[in-house]
Amino acid sequence: MNAANSIPKPRGRFQGVGEVFRFNWPRYAAAGLVIAASLVGMRVAHLPYALQIVCCLGLAIVAWWSIASLIGSYWVYDGSALMRWEWIKHELPAPPRRWLNIHAGLDESTPHLQQFWPNALG
């Protein structure tokens, strides 16, 4: 990695939520369409009141699941110290001489590790 890539970029306030939303946007769009179509369908079909209540509860679960996933993503990726990587320095009793970083392709940790331990082989 060259020197320009080894300086970690600061994270945006909602970067984690944005990444989760961009990755999963078809699911969020589908949930929105299901909710909208169901509300219109319930209005047009003139369902019995009890069935409308059951349908609304189901739609509330769909809406909550979608919103809760974004709230959870914010809590983990944007609101906690997890993605600032400072915690990893406190977990190691001494700076490592070598380190290995295994990731799934969206690597935000390597620049931080290189900055924390510039003399270690990574």
pLDDT tens for 26-67 read 999 999 999 999 999 998 998 999 999 999 999 999 999 999
47 & 63 share domain: yes
pTM of the model: 0.72
What is the average pLDDT score of the chain? 89
75 & 108 share domain: no
Q: What is the C-alpha to C-alpha distance for residues 114 and 99, in angstroms, rounded to an integer?
A: 10
Number of structural domains the chain divides into: 2
68 & 39 share domain: yes
Q: Max alpha carbon distance in the chain (Å)?
A: 71
Q: What is the C-alpha to C-alpha distance for residues 100 and 38, in angstroms, rounded to an integer?
A: 50
121 & 64 share domain: no
37 & 63 share domain: yes
Q: What is the pLDDT of residue 59?
A: 96
Note whether residue 65 is domain-resident. yes
Residue by residue, what is the 3-state secondary structure of 102-121?
CCCCCCCCHHHHHHHCCCCE
Token output for 110: 């390597």
114 & 97 share domain: yes
pLDDT for 4 beyond 50? no
Q: Which domain holds residue 113?
A: 85-122
Token output for 17: 């939520």
Confidence of residue 3 (pLDDT cuts 50, 70, 90): very low
Token output for 21: 């939303």
